[in-house]
A and B are shown apart, each in its own frame.
Chain A
């Protein structure tokens, strides 16, 4: 697993994808940060900034995940992975952790933006820390979704676009849920809504159920990726 992790991590920066992701992520999130805090002359819009972060994740994370399995299938390099003494889950985790590392590194650099707020005001630190944890977990779940969709196709573009679609749908469920009058369906939709799960973090609460939800979402898609690859061997 460690060999795959290191290779994938290196490959992000041997190809333009890693630079494009980091660059775009820092520029766009920086603009959103400036708009929501510095230009608004207020830290009260910090919640709005995190909503922007979710939208940015939904669009940019698929760039990070699109090649993970689709490229291996297309170039047949999956043959060396699957015929080596490494378990399929080890391969899946190696790739997942590599994408998560690039994402986390960009995220850490991006988080230095918040230092600026302390120079000009007194932001609510707990709210910021909780929100950072929540949005990071959401990003980790989006990476698992992207990884899964990458395992379904040889085409990186299809993997990226479908991941953007799924991520957007998961964000929009919340809006749909608010317009559903029947209590039962609305509860179910809200349960699936990644937005609604995020709300407690902005309210300075470390919501264990929300953490479990995001981690479960990631775990389910990692498991499904493992099954897809295993099933292809049996197809």
Chain B
């Protein structure tokens, strides 16, 4: 549905986008991640035809944005980082304007009403946009992107500046829209892509550093596996045994004590499943294993590793059921 091939864009000496390529298939929600200044917005602006690339091609449903921009743009709904709202208009006036601007052929009243209901702005339809809260303005921005029912939706930082309740609502909305649209979701809020996206493209300094399915990205970055084991037994001896067990890279007590158990953080070597040997070893020693849970790298960790800035902080690791 979206095909980006070797796109480059420079501003003076700065290579904002330096030869990036990726595809988004129909019905996919793609997370577009990167630190500030990585080239995310520039890439999105090129995809939507707001900026022209120095070289490379962008195809939307087979149409080149450069050679047939009007046709390609009909298939795109775009919410830029700052929603492009005319504050002096009411919500309905604004949506009617966008409807006309896009040359939409769907039945006007019904289409706009449906959109307003989907993004929950029907109750503020007659209010001036300048009097709306940030959350509502963001919704109006999403509503304008939905007008004309475009095949592709592109959201640039859609939850920035919203409160936690609004963030959850917008995420749910994007997830729902993903059932009928192909979506690119640009963000630097990592749980957002974990919660919503099928695949992730990570960009840093204008180049792509990862392009994987969300679940594959974790393994692609780090094949090691971390476990937290709750073991009843003498701490020193348990540690000594764990460290001598084949396949275990590191083992440390993390001091979580229940009544009589101690928790240990165990890191296996690359692509080794140590759960069974661990169980049999502890059983043979007579130390009951009363809990075992996996610890996945969070996207924060992955992201930091990919962009190579600093080592991940264990405190940020997200626990996940194994």
Contacts and interface: CB of A to CB of B under 8 A. Distances in A.
A115 interface: no
B80 A79 contact: yes
B304 interface: no
Interface stretch (A6-14, A144-152, A177-185): A6-14
Interface in A1-21: 2-4, 6-7, 10-11, 14-15
A122 interface: no
Interface stretch (B95-103, B113-121, B294-302): B95-103
B73 A76 contact: no
Interface stretch (B48-56, B226-234, B255-263, B273-281): B48-56
A85 B11 contact: no
A76 B84 CA distance: 6
What range describes how many residues of A lie at the interface? 20 to 34
Interface stretch (B85-93, B169-177, B207-215, B239-247): B85-93
A234 B49 contact: no
Contact of B100 (A6, A15, A78, A87): A6
Nearest to B72: A85
A85 B71 contact: yes
Nearest to B97: A7
A151 to B, nearest CB: 16
Contact of A85 (B50, B74, B93): B74
B50 A83 contact: yes
B283 interface: no
B86 A15 contact: no
B168 interface: no
A78 B70 CA distance: 16
A80 interface: yes
Instruction: Count chain A CB atoms within 10 A of each CB in B50, B85, B87, B102 and give the residue with the most.
Output: B50
A87 B70 contact: yes
A235 interface: yes
Nearest to A83: B48
Interface in A54-107: 75-87
A233 interface: yes
Contacts of B106: none
A77 B71 contact: no
A82 B50 contact: yes
Contact of B70 (A2, A3, A81, A85): A85
B85 A77 contact: yes
Interface in B37-85: 45, 48-52, 69-71, 73-74, 76, 78, 80, 82, 84-85
A2 B3 CA distance: 32
A222 to B, nearest CB: 20
B78 A81 contact: no
Contacts of B89: 7, 10-11, 14
Nearest to A15: B88
A6 B103 CA distance: 14
Contact of B101 (A76, A79, A80, A234): A80
Contacts of A87: 70
B186 interface: no
Given A7-B86, A77-B84, A83 B73 contact: yes
Nearest to B48: A83
B144 interface: yes
Contacts of B70: 85-87
Contacts of B101: 3-4, 80-81, 84, 86
Given A76-B82, A82-B50, A83-B73, 13 more contacts: A3-B97, A76-B80, A76-B84, A77-B84, A77-B85, A79-B50, A79-B84, A83-B49, A83-B76, A83-B78, A85-B102, A233-B52, A234-B52
23 contacts: A2-B100, A3-B97, A6-B97, A6-B100, A10-B89, A10-B93, A15-B88, A75-B84, A75-B87, A76-B80, A79-B78, A80-B144, A83-B50, A83-B78, A84-B73, A84-B102, A85-B69, A85-B74, A85-B102, A86-B101, A233-B50, A233-B52, A234-B51
A-B CB proximity, top 9 nearest: A3-B100, A80-B84, A3-B101, A83-B48, A85-B73, A14-B88, A85-B70, A77-B84, A79-B80
